[in-house]
Structures are given as C-alpha cells and as structure tokens.
C-alpha cells in the first residue's frame, strides 16, 4: 500500500498489568522445540484464524447506497435512522469478555480444529489460547497497534505491529473492528445505506466503485444474521454469519453462540472458520498471561 511505512519489529513483549502477574520473558529463539507426541498445531492455523477475522478491516471508506429521488431519499433516510437506532440499542458490548469456543479452520490446503480460550478487554487487548487434545498449541495477544503469536509446540514466535499484516497481506488491520466481530456486531454501518426487506429479514446494502456491503437482521429482535463485504476490484469477499442467540449473565442483550467467517479470494483461495462458544462470561478484570520458556538449545 503506497505511503505506508514499512513494518518494524516492536520491543520485547510487555506483560499485561495486573496483580501478581509475572514479567514477560525474552522472546524464544526461532529454533524448534523437541518433538512432541501430540500433533503440532501449525502456526498458519493461528495466523489464518487471525487473518480471517482481520479481513473485515479491508474497507476504510464509506460505502454509499444507490441513488434515489429526493422524496424517496427523505423517507428512506428516516427509516434507516430508525433501523440504525434499533440496531445500536441491541449491540453487544462489555468491558470484559471471557469465552471458550470450539474452533474449526478449513482452507484449500489444510483443515484443523481445536479449543480456543478468548479474553477481551475492550479497546485494550484481545488474548487467545488454542489447545488441541488438552495441550496448548498456540497463544496470541492483539493490541490496538500490535500482535503477538507463539506456537508453543514448535517454538515459533511472531511479534509485529499490525502494519505487518497490512504490508504482507494487503489488509488494513483495525483492532476496533476485530473486537466488534468478537462481540457479534456489524461493522461499517453508515447512514447512507439502502433499507429493504428480503426473505423475511431487514436488509441493509451499499455499493461504491470499490466495495459492496450486505447486512441481514432479524426484524423482531434486530439481531445480526449475516454480513458480507465484497472488494470488487480484488474479487475478494468476506462474510460473517451469526446463529443460536442466547441470553448470557452480565450482558444486557443476547449473544450469538455460533459464528462462521468465510473468506473467498481470487489469489488467496477460500478459507472458513467456525466458532461455537461453549462458555461465556462478561465480568472482569481478567489475566492475559503471555510468559513462556525458550526452548532448550
């Protein structure tokens, strides 16, 4: 992307604030750890899961709805304002989130699953630990300006600013949008979308020269059923679907326990991530440990 400064490696991983937390150890060497009896969880699983979620950050411009005459525009704008107000009233948000989810990632080159432990501190950090057969395979920490990935089984470590993802994968990475997706909310809702009804759902659509957006909401509950972003020039699309909404202690609105994120790109191929949340809590504070031992030489 023109004009963007090159990615640089940040200083050694800092520890998150909190009582009784140990200081972070220096980054491990890039040598692999001794062979494990458990099947190693590849770093690309963790990175792909992160990339699939971050791909919704590809749009940084407003996507306008189709043109209309003055009378229709005035009526449509009032209706859209009412719909957006109702959507905002049902938007999930909390200072803290602590979750366990079954995660399955499938692409054209590999398929793998595991259990993800997710902790979120709103506007501050997102922490994830992925286990397979009860053994931690990977750990991630995402902050508004940086991300850290550690493959425990293979001793692989990545510590980069979020601009690294932008440079390497041509994906503008935004922390605020990522946390909205974790909460099950829509992103890029603007005040110039077109409102209609489609297949019993409220539909919001927008289109520009570069992007097209499509959102579907339950008309009774204003729960987000699906959203899709198409990057027309790159022939790439990302879609998120939510299902199995349920009440959760500590959250005033319902939360979608099932999530599917699908990425379809002309050059990247197709990748899909399914998440089934089995445990949820919205109270804190929470520890986000990221200490580790360097593998033996």
36-93 tens-digit pLDDT: 333 333 444 444 455 454 443 333 334 444 444 444 444 455 489 999 999 999 999 9
Per-residue pLDDT, 276: 97
The pLDDT confidence band at residue 172, using thresholds 50, 70 and 90, is low
More confident residue, 275 or 174: 275
Query: Domain 43-281 is in which class?
Result: mainly beta
Mean pLDDT of 126-144: 89
Per-residue pLDDT, 79: 87
Strands (E), 108-192: 111-121, 125-132, 135-143, 146-151, 156-161
Report pLDDT digits (tens) over 116-126. Answer: 999 999 999 99
Helix axes 43-54, 175-183, angle to 10 degrees: 90
The pLDDT confidence band at residue 170, using thresholds 50, 70 and 90, is low
Give strand pairing partners of 243. 258
Check: CB of residue 87 under 8 Å from CB of residue 79: no
The pLDDT confidence band at residue 184, using thresholds 50, 70 and 90, is very high
Helix or strand or coil: residue 103? strand
Report pTM: 0.72
Per-residue pLDDT, 268: 67
The pLDDT confidence band at residue 233, using thresholds 50, 70 and 90, is confident
Cα–Cα distance measured from residue 255 to residue 247, given in angstroms and rounded to the nearest whole number? 6
Cα–Cα distance measured from residue 287 to residue 297, given in angstroms and rounded to the nearest whole number? 30
Per-residue pLDDT, 257: 97
Residue 285: asked if its preceding bond is cis (omega within 30°), the reply is yes
């Amino acid at each position: 992307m023109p004009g963007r400064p090159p990615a640089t490696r940040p200083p050694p991983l800092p520890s998150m604030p909190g009582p009784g937390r140990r200081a972070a150890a220096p980054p491990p060497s890039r040598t692999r750890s001794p062979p494990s009896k458990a099947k190693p969880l590849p770093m690309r699983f963790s990175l792909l899961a992160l990339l699939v979620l971050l791909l919704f950050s590809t749009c940084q411009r407003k996507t306008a709805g189709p043109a209309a005459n003055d009378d229709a525009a005035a009526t449509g704008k009032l209706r859209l304002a009412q719909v957006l107000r109702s959507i905002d009233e049902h938007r999930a948000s909390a200072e803290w989130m602590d979750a366990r989810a079954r995660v399955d990632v499938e692409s054209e080159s590999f398929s793998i699953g595991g259990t993800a432990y997710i902790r979120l501190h709103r506007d501050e950090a997102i922490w994830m630990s992925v286990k397979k057969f009860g053994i931690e395979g990977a750990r991630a920490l995402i902050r508004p300006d940086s991300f850290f990935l550690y493959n425990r089984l293979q001793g692989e470590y990545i510590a980069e600013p979020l601009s690294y993802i932008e440079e390497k994968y041509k994906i503008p990475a935004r922390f605020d949008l990522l946390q909205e997706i974790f909460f099950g909310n829509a992103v890029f809702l603007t005040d110039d979308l077109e409102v209609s009804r489609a297949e019993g759902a409220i539909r919001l659509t927008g289109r520009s020269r570069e992007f097209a957006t499509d959102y579907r909401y339950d008309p009774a509950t204003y729960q987000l059923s699906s959203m899709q972003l198409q990057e027309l020039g790159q022939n790439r699309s990302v879609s998120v679907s939510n299902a199995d909404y349920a009440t959760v202690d500590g959250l005033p609105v319902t939360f979608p326990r099932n999530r599917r994120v699908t990425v379809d790109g002309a050059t990247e191929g197709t990748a899909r991530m399914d998440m089934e949340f089995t445990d949820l809590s919205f109270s804190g504070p929470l520890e986000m440990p990221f200490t580790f031992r360097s593998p033996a030489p």
